[in-house]
Chain A
Amino acid sequence: MWPLKWKKREQEYRRQREEFFEAVKRLNRRDFLKVAGLSAAVFTAKTVVPPHSFQVVDVVRAEPQEKPLFRFAYISDTHLYERELNERFVNAALRAVRDVNALDPPPDFVIFGGDLAQLGQPKELELGKQILSELKVPVKMMVGEHDWFLDMGEKWRELFGPENYSFDHKGVHFIVLMSVNEKDFWTERNMTPMERMLTVAQLDNPIQSRFEVGEEGREWLRRDLAKVSKDTPIIIFSHSPLYKYYRPWNFWTEDAEAIHEMLFPFKSVTVIHGHTHQLLTHRIQNIHFHGMLSTAWPWPYAPEGLPKLTVPMERPDPFDEADGTGWGTVDVHRDGYVDKHYNLWSRNPITVAKAYLESWGKEAIPPAPEFPPY
């Protein structure tokens, strides 16, 4: 079964390569783009044979595309325990910091996507702050539920400031929105702060409430958006996906619709979120959504509700603890929409381009996995 499939693919690959070389011979300036398309086809047809030097994909792609306005990087979901308990997550966070520092040219800033700590302990948060202070560019912090539910954000606010804030950068209005509030499930159960934290920290714990921005947060957002003109590009950072993907795991924001209503009048809106630890792509009208990778571990895709535009990442290899994890960069274009780069540590990087979302998945399709999730 497999060898036959491979054989067929290899034949197809060789045929396309011949065609490509023929085309290159006839090459003139006008035909350049056409050949570029062909070489992209060669690239996707390849599965067994590694890419060769005849591919001009990168050269050609660089030429016709609009240059992005600026780039920022992201690191997310480090889930740090104290170093004495777990060194692996600490090392992964440090690796991401090193990788981002090695970017040349450096990104304009780094967004940290939340869940710095595993159980909201002051020592975990302080360790996280220490690690992130190694970054050479400014860091924008976002809070996650693992940082919050031990002391309801007290320590986090002390270290990093308010959980909702906004800033402007090169004509784009950035909003960091706290989206992981939960309705009180702990008082009636007489839970200690640690019991509350452990409940929220367990993704598949059905006792906890669903994530929400909440009334106060929505009011804050309304006031913030009122100051911004409708054609200013908006990029929102939230920890939970600002839509409804899978309720049992809180891959979910309960009041997502109310938030969308506030965002629909704007010309260009992009949401970049943490929490899901996987490649995730979604679009609702003018709003583009992108997930972030975790440095600690990948979550499996939920059994249902995966957004149609998501091309899932290949299932991670459990024998490689870095597989399915990493960090990434975001190229922001003039209109505010972005090319989202997932820099997976054990795989080739994957880009989900602005053109892919703008064409509703018809163009610039990211590579499909050979072994999709179960």
Chain B
Amino acid sequence: MRTAKLLILVVGIIGLALVATSFERRTVGAQQSKASGGSDRLVVQLCDGETKLEIADARAGEVLPPEKAREVARRMMAAYAEQQAKQVSKWTARDRLTWEREQKRVIEEGYKLFHDWRALGGTIGISCDMCHPDAAATHPETYPKFQTQLKRVATLRDMINWCIENPMKGKPLPPDDPRMIALEAYITSTRKGVPLEPGKH
């Protein structure tokens, strides 16, 4: 994992240098942005999304000559190495973005399935939201718990499948079905922050 990331970084830096050397008329493009605080010095960002370098003697939008670009790349690499030496976490801002994006995507997928009986294999026009608007009365925080009607301790997943099979008259989903994961993600997202109370009736 770490090796792969480093490799990507190095490739990125080489790429930066190449951009600067081979296509001198083009600016460093996406890699540069205006420095904050009103200064219009050239700011170069590494592709880890975090390491930034302000170039004292170059203006924003300026195309660096090859020599200078190589120098900048060396300094970026050094800054990166220095930062790595101090860093405790192995996770970057990019990781965080990925987590958030994927979570949001799956929750949204779950929301769609929750409101679409066909997508869940229902056969009589009944969708989850018809009894559970905004996933109300799903109380995922209370599972696992003994379900009198099933005569055993059941999970939220068991109950989702029970609903698909019974009121919706569909076929239960395999536990690793992406639709099941999406439904769980949506349902639990609506109870974020509610204390866990497994076993609560």
Binding site for B on A (CB under 8 A): 81, 85-88, 118, 202-204, 248-249, 297-300, 302-303, 315, 317-319, 321, 371, 373-374
Note all chain A residues with C-beta closer than 8 A to B167: 318, 321
Q: Are A88 and B124 in contact (CB under 8 A)?
A: yes
Provide the main secondary structure of the chain B interface.
loop
- Which among A299, A302, A303, A321 has the highest number of chain B CB atoms within 10 Å? A299
Q: Are B129 and A204 in contact (CB under 8 A)?
A: yes
* Residue of A203, A318, A319 touching B129 (CB-CB under 8 A): A203
Note all chain B residues with C-beta closer than 8 A to A249: 133-134
Q: Are A297 and B131 in contact (CB under 8 A)?
A: yes
Q: Are A371 and B201 in contact (CB under 8 A)?
A: yes
Complex Cα spacing A87 to B162, Å = 19
In the complex, chain B residues 105-141 whose Cβ is within 8 Å of any chain A Cβ: 115, 124-126, 129-134, 136-137, 139
Binding site for A on B (CB under 8 A): 115, 124-126, 129-134, 136-137, 139, 142, 149, 162-163, 166-167, 201
Given A88-B124, A317-B149, A319-B149, are A373 and B129 also a contact pair (CB < 8 Å)? no
Q: Are A299 and B163 in contact (CB under 8 A)?
A: no
Q: Are B125 and A300 in contact (CB under 8 A)?
A: no
Complex Cα spacing A251 to B125, Å = 23
Q: Are B131 and A202 in contact (CB under 8 A)?
A: no
Note all chain A residues with C-beta closer than 8 A to B162: 318
Complex Cα spacing A317 to B162, Å = 13
19 contacts between A and B (CB under 8 A): A81-B124, A118-B125, A202-B115, A203-B129, A204-B129, A204-B133, A249-B134, A297-B130, A300-B131, A300-B132, A300-B133, A302-B136, A318-B131, A318-B162, A318-B163, A318-B167, A319-B166, A321-B167, A373-B137
Given A86-B124, A318-B167, are A300 and B149 also a contact pair (CB < 8 Å)? no
Q: Are A299 and B125 in contact (CB under 8 A)?
A: no
Closest 8 pairs between A and B when the two form their complex, measured CB to CB: A300-B137, A319-B149, A204-B133, A300-B136, A203-B133, A86-B124, A204-B134, A374-B139
Complex Cα spacing A87 to B124, Å = 8
Look across to chain B and name the residue whose beta carbon is closest to the beta carbon of A118.
B125
Given A248-B134, A300-B136, A317-B149, are A86 and B163 also a contact pair (CB < 8 Å)? no
